[in-house]
Amino acid sequence: MRHTFKLVPGSEDWRQLEQGFRAAFMRLDTLSAAPRRTQDRRDLKQAARSSDTFVNEPDTDWSLPHHAEWAQGIVTAWVKRCVEVPLVIDGVEIVDAHSTRDCLDPSRLGAVVGRYRLANGGDIVQAVECAARDDDGWRGLSPQQRQATMRQVANELRRARADLMGAAMANCGKTLAESDPEVSEAIDFVEFYAGSVRTFFELPNVTASGKGVVVVVSPWNFPIAIPCGGIAAALAAGNTVILKPASDAVLPAWELCQCFWRGGVSKKVLQFVPCAGGQEGAQLVQHPLVNAVILTGGTETALAMLRAKPALPLSAETGGKNATIVTAMADRDL
């Protein structure tokens, strides 16, 4: 391009460009004509990955025709599905003798896509005591051992992309194009936190340890990435975790937890405890054996937690907008 306005036939620049073009043309037959966009979500063998270097997980390449077929398969699989979701407390799936609530599809009036159990006060006590005991010794594992498990979890998330997206579509009304990057973000959280925590634990003259029992209270609007981020950060640091998902996003949270369990995290280390926020939810975060809470939700919810337990270590991302001040010096084209 830099020669465009001054190139003269027969000049030295002309001859150099001519030679370069001819040399490139002679190598034409050595170039591969094979497609370079080879991503295929249908091929689960592509999902597994192992590397010591963090690389962001790629989103689905929707320009490839076979991914449209893959997406249609997700819709077909989930449109008639109704999932029975248990509580998971102290390593046991609980399906009986509990109040239940329906998981509704907000895009289809009255369509029930799942049914989940509500934890009661006794369940809350049992879950917290189990997390505090750490029967399976998660806290005692080395950072390297925890990272190895988390890498298996990341691969399970890769393999479960379709069902995670399907659950978010069915229970939360998210389009597949919206939930696909959430799955990528969730995988990034698992890989990045595990690697980062290992680095912190290996720093010279630094002693690091987990908090103990961490409760993750997740929202409905990002039902895959946000709960996964809280769980992954807490587990990587050596904590046991109790997940309380939003009542409107229980189904994707259930699918998410199954990825952690299949990856090697036990059902005593990560417990799944949907419950009513007013009474049992408050009981959960106020329990004296709970050492920290990770919340994404309303500002008032966070303030209520702190009023009830002022010394609570709370990591909260809450609602509201930051103030924006635009001065006369601002670039208005932005």
**What average pLDDT is seen over the chain?**
94
What pLDDT is recorded for position 187? 98
| CA distance to 106, 205, 232, 242, 300, per residue, from 116 (Å) | 17, 47, 23, 16, 26
pLDDT band at 148 (very low <50, low <70, confident <90, very high): very high
Of the candidates 229, 103, 248, 75, the one whose C-alpha atom is nearest the C-alpha of residue 163 is 75
pLDDT above 90 (res 332): no
Is-contact 311 332, C-beta < 8 A?
no
- The span from the CA of 203 to the CA of 311, in Å, is 29
Find the mean pLDDT for residues 92-110.
Answer: 94
Phi then psi for 51, rounded to 5 degrees?
-160, 145
Of the chain, the percentage scoring pLDDT greater than 70 comes to 100
Cα 50 to chain centroid distance, Å, stands at 18
pLDDT single digits (tens) 158-182: 999 999 999 999 999 999 999 999 9
What pLDDT is recorded for position 51? 72
What pLDDT is recorded for position 207? 87
Residues in CB range of 189: below 8 A, 6 or more apart: 225, 228, 229, 232, 233
Give the count of beta carbons closer than 10 Å to the beta carbon of residue 175. Answer: 12
pLDDT single digits (tens) 37-55: 889 999 988 777 777 789 9
pLDDT above 90 (res 206): no
Residue with tokens 């050492």: 291
| Residues pairing with 112 in the sheet | 104
pLDDT single digits (tens) 121-131: 999 999 999 99
What pLDDT is recorded for position 151? 95
pLDDT above 90 (res 269): yes
Domains identified in the chain and CATH numbers: 85-318 (3.40.605.10)
